[in-house]
């Protein structure tokens, strides 16, 4: 299972650069979206965040940590969609859109926190958004590059469409790498489920 990971890391550097830049563009776009919000939308977000932080600080019932499988399912669904899109040539643009959207979500989340609470919002983002995403994002980008590479391989080698033997090895390599990333995401989900909420409770008193 480690062989496909080493292979994709070594031979697909241009693709890694491309999807990483695309992701970063999404982060910037998401952060800029915060400035495009109307005053009413900003006030709604401010009220929501205020209630959320107050609930965490007081240990209210509104703040309930997600179950492990809920967190894991969210990450695995994203990974599974990337894997499915990689199986077809027409799914190639969808992979790029998912990478961009992931960046937008993170950029918008951090942008809202910083916009409402300045350095305190940044501190909260560092403990609630950053830790698990430092692993989740690389895992998804690795899976995306593998999916793009598999799609491009289909385009370059039409023989894969007619010779099952030729298609088996690339498919198994691609699927093996995806399964390895799934295992990584499961491990990260445990951190996000049991450690991240504790870190959030440590920082929230500074905000609430």
**Residues 111-161 pLDDT 10s:** 999 999 999 999 999 999 999 999 999 999 999 999 999 998 887 776 445
Nearest Cα to 142, choosing from 28, 27, 13? 13
pLDDT at 4: 52
pLDDT at 52: 84
Taking each helix axis from N to C end, the angle separating 68-86 and 164-194, rounded to the nearest 10 degrees, works out to 160
| Comparison of pLDDT for 185 and 61, the residue scoring more | 185
The token pair that represents 50 in the structure block: 């205020």
| Comparison of pLDDT for 206 and 105, the residue scoring more | 105
Half-sphere exposure of 172 (CA within 13 A, CB side): 8
pLDDT at 62: 44
| Comparison of pLDDT for 172 and 9, the residue scoring more | 172
**Residues 8-67 pLDDT 10s:** 556 788 999 999 999 999 999 999 999 998 889 999 999 988 888 888 877 654 455 578
Please state the domain count of the chain. 1
pLDDT at 201: 87
**Residues 63-119 pLDDT 10s:** 555 788 899 999 999 999 999 999 987 889 999 999 999 999 999 999 999 999 999
pLDDT at 2: 54
pLDDT score of 175 more than 90: yes
Question: How many residues appear in the chain?
Answer: 208
What residues make up the domain containing 43? 2-207
pLDDT at 61: 43
Please give the model's pTM, rounded to 2 decimal places: 0.87
Q: What is the DSSP string of 47-77?
A: HHHHHHHHHHHHT-TT--PPPHHHHHHHHHH
Mean pLDDT over 160-166 rounds to 53
For Cα atoms 197, 105, 196, give the angle at the middle one, nearest 5 degrees: 10
Mean pLDDT over 157-167 rounds to 56
Q: Please give the Cα distance from 32 to 100 (Å, whole number).
A: 14
């Amino acid at each position: 299972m480690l062989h496909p990971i080493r292979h994709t890391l070594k031979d697909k550097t241009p693709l890694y650069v491309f999807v990483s830049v695309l992701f970063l563009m999404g982060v910037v776009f998401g952060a800029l979206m915060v400035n495009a919000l109307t005053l009413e939308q900003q006030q709604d977000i401010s009220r929501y965040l205020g209630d959320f932080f107050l609930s965490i600080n007081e240990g209210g019932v509104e703040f309930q940590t997600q179950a492990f499988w809920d967190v894991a399912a969210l990450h695995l669904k994203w990974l599974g969609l990337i894997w499915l899109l990689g199986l077809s040539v027409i799914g190639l643009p969808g992979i790029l859109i998912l990478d961009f959207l992931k960046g937008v979500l993170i950029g918008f989340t951090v942008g809202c926190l910083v916009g409402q609470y300045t350095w305190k919002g940044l501190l909260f983002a560092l403990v609630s958004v950053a830790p698990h995403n430092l692993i989740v994002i690389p895992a998804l980008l690795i899976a995306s590059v593998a999916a793009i590479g598999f799609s491009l391989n289909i385009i370059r080698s039409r023989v894969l469409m007619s010779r099952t033997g030729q298609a088996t090895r690339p498919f198994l390599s691609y699927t093996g790498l995806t399964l390895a990333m799934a295992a990584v995401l499961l491990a990260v989900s445990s951190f996000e489920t049991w450690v991240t909420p504790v870190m959030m409770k440590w920082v929230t008193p500074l905000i609430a």
